[in-house]
Amino acid sequence: MLNFAAVLLFFLSLILGQGAAVALAQGEDIQSQIERGRAALQAGRVDEAIEIFSRLIQAAPQAEFYFQRALAFDKKHKYGPAIQDLDKAISAAPDQANYYSKRGMVLRRIGEHEAALTDFTRVLELDPTNVTALANRARALFTLGDASKALQDVQRAIGLSPENAALYGLRGDIYTVAGEHANAVKDYNRAIQLKPDAAWAYNNRGIALANLGKTREAVEDLNRAMEIAASFSSVGEVPGMSGNSW
């Protein structure tokens, strides 16, 4: 008589691949693997996370597995593989706003601002009150030369999240590049009120003040930014200096 478990394992090996079939035969729980992969990614064990999600994809390719592996590839600055995985995740689950958001961020990093703009717009079609998507689209629009629409997006974002210091910083940055230094100073003032240890806000306000000819105040702000930075062991620990999500 044929052993049913052996027959099942044989067909699983044909369908899923030998390694995945053995893993399932040994009773590995998929949910525990997902959690282990996420934990590895969060702890900075990126290669381990890639290995776990690659194994899960081999066993049962799902949108979320591709998405998680894309996050890991992004952390290793492997933007090509990250975009490929995000393409697959979106193809499998085209209504997941966070998949478009992440792909837009990766595309922006490699200078594909028009493609990023398309992704951030899609996020807002799916989730019109997504503050991060509004801020990201504002960045893309401004980079592409449309400061007016960029400001509209930032103002919408501030209306949704009025206590978010980074949004005032973003609008201040746009004003600075546009030469509206007095408006930029107002936004950096608000950012500092909300986040007094934001080194970037002092730094950028100092630049705006210098452009207004207020040299003494500018120097004070730039010194304050350096003091805040010096109190942390690395730039990545300085509040506001490790880069916003947008």
In CATH, what number is assigned to the domain containing residue 226? 1.25.40.10
**Residue 246, CA atoms < 13 Å, CB-side half-sphere:** 30
> Does residue 210 sit within a domain?
yes
Helix 18-25 with 4-16: angle, nearest 10 deg = 140
**Residue 34: other Cβ atoms inside 10 A:** 17
Sign of the CA dihedral running 157, 160, 166, 169? positive
Q: If the chain, 246 residues long, is cut into consecutive pieces of 10 residues, what is the mean pLDDT of each piece?
A: 38 43 51 93 96 94 96 97 98 97 97 98 98 97 95 98 97 95 98 96 98 98 95 52 39
> Does residue 53 sit within a domain?
yes
**Reported pTM:** 0.80
> Does residue 129 sit within a domain?
yes
Q: What is the pLDDT of residue 233?
A: 55
> Does residue 230 sit within a domain?
yes
Q: What is the pLDDT of residue 232?
A: 74
Is 245 found in the same domain as 172? yes
Is 221 found in the same domain as 172? yes
Residue that finishes a domain, picked among 162, 178, 203: 162
DSSP 37-95: HHHHHHTT-HHHHHHHHHHHHHHS--HHHHHHHHHHHHHTT-HHHHHHHHHHHHHH-TT
Q: 71 is in which domain, residue-wise?
A: 14-76
Is 130 found in the same domain as 175? no
Q: How many domains does the chain have?
A: 3
> Does residue 82 sit within a domain?
no
Is 170 found in the same domain as 157? no
Is 39 found in the same domain as 27? yes
